[in-house]
Amino acid sequence: MNIHIPTPLRAYTGGLETVSVAGTTVGSVFQQLTVQYPELKPHLFTPEGKLRSFVNVYLNDDDIRYLPNKEETAATDTDELTIIPSIAGGTSCRL
Protein backbone atom coordinates (compact mmCIF):
# COMPACT_ATOMS: atom_id res chain seq x y z
CA MET A 1 0.00 0.00 0.00
CA ASN A 2 1.23 3.50 -0.76
CA ILE A 3 1.14 6.06 2.02
CA HIS A 4 1.32 9.73 1.09
CA ILE A 5 3.44 11.62 3.62
CA PRO A 6 2.74 15.32 4.21
CA THR A 7 5.61 17.78 3.82
CA PRO A 8 6.12 18.42 7.58
CA LEU A 9 6.62 14.68 8.23
CA ARG A 10 8.91 13.92 5.29
CA ALA A 11 11.94 14.73 7.44
CA TYR A 12 11.21 11.42 9.20
CA THR A 13 10.97 9.39 5.96
CA GLY A 14 14.21 10.56 4.42
CA GLY A 15 12.35 13.15 2.37
CA LEU A 16 10.08 10.59 0.69
CA GLU A 17 6.70 11.88 -0.44
CA THR A 18 5.25 8.37 -0.73
CA VAL A 19 6.29 5.19 1.05
CA SER A 20 5.16 1.63 0.42
CA VAL A 21 4.09 -0.48 3.39
CA ALA A 22 2.42 -3.89 3.64
CA GLY A 23 -0.51 -4.65 5.93
CA THR A 24 -4.00 -6.12 6.00
CA THR A 25 -5.68 -3.35 8.02
CA VAL A 26 -5.14 0.39 8.35
CA GLY A 27 -3.80 -0.24 11.87
CA SER A 28 -1.32 -2.89 10.75
CA VAL A 29 -0.13 -0.59 7.96
CA PHE A 30 0.51 2.14 10.54
CA GLN A 31 2.28 -0.38 12.77
CA GLN A 32 4.59 -1.35 9.90
CA LEU A 33 5.07 2.31 8.92
CA THR A 34 6.34 3.15 12.41
CA VAL A 35 8.62 0.10 12.37
CA GLN A 36 10.15 1.24 9.08
CA TYR A 37 10.24 4.91 10.15
CA PRO A 38 10.30 4.95 13.98
CA GLU A 39 10.77 8.72 14.19
CA LEU A 40 7.24 9.14 12.79
CA LYS A 41 5.56 7.40 15.72
CA PRO A 42 5.45 10.28 18.24
CA HIS A 43 4.10 12.60 15.54
CA LEU A 44 1.25 10.25 14.64
CA PHE A 45 0.38 8.49 17.92
CA THR A 46 -0.10 9.39 21.57
CA PRO A 47 2.00 7.58 24.22
CA GLU A 48 -1.07 5.33 24.71
CA GLY A 49 -0.93 4.28 21.05
CA LYS A 50 -3.97 6.22 19.82
CA LEU A 51 -3.86 8.15 16.58
CA ARG A 52 -3.41 11.83 17.49
CA SER A 53 -6.59 13.89 17.14
CA PHE A 54 -4.94 16.40 14.80
CA VAL A 55 -3.84 13.69 12.34
CA ASN A 56 -6.39 13.08 9.60
CA VAL A 57 -6.05 9.83 7.67
CA TYR A 58 -7.84 8.94 4.46
CA LEU A 59 -8.10 5.43 3.06
CA ASN A 60 -8.49 6.16 -0.63
CA ASP A 61 -11.06 9.01 -0.34
CA ASP A 62 -12.62 8.02 2.99
CA ASP A 63 -11.74 9.60 6.34
CA ILE A 64 -11.02 6.61 8.59
CA ARG A 65 -12.73 8.33 11.55
CA TYR A 66 -16.05 7.77 9.77
CA LEU A 67 -15.46 4.20 8.63
CA PRO A 68 -17.29 1.57 10.72
CA ASN A 69 -14.08 -0.27 11.65
CA LYS A 70 -11.81 2.79 11.78
CA GLU A 71 -8.19 1.56 12.12
CA GLU A 72 -9.33 -2.06 11.84
CA THR A 73 -10.65 -1.42 8.31
CA ALA A 74 -9.28 -3.93 5.81
CA ALA A 75 -6.59 -2.69 3.46
CA THR A 76 -5.12 -4.09 0.25
CA ASP A 77 -1.93 -3.44 -1.69
CA THR A 78 -3.87 -1.31 -4.19
CA ASP A 79 -5.33 1.01 -1.52
CA GLU A 80 -3.74 4.34 -0.67
CA LEU A 81 -3.46 6.12 2.66
CA THR A 82 -3.08 9.86 2.87
CA ILE A 83 -1.95 11.53 6.09
CA ILE A 84 -3.06 15.14 6.51
CA PRO A 85 -2.13 16.94 9.71
CA SER A 86 -4.54 19.61 10.88
CA ILE A 87 -3.08 23.07 10.81
CA ALA A 88 -4.09 25.79 13.24
CA GLY A 89 -2.76 29.16 14.04
CA GLY A 90 -2.91 32.69 12.88
CA THR A 91 -3.58 35.85 14.74
CA SER A 92 -6.68 37.68 15.77
CA CYS A 93 -7.46 40.83 13.92
CA ARG A 94 -8.33 43.82 16.08
CA LEU A 95 -9.61 46.97 14.57
How open is the CA angle 19-20-23, to the nearest 5 degrees?
A: 130
Q: Residues in the chain, how many?
A: 95
What the chain holds in terms of domains, given with CATH numbers, is 2-85 (3.10.20.30)
pTM for the whole structure = 0.82
If DSSP codes are grouped into helix, strand and coil, which group holds residue 80? strand
Q: Output the average pLDDT for the chain.
A: 88
67-54-83-29 Cα dihedral, nearest 10 degrees? -60
Interacting residues of 90 by C-beta distance below 8 A, sequence separation 6+: none
- Of 35-39, 62-66, 86-90, the range with the highest mean pLDDT is 35-39
Residue 53 has pLDDT above 90, yes or no: no
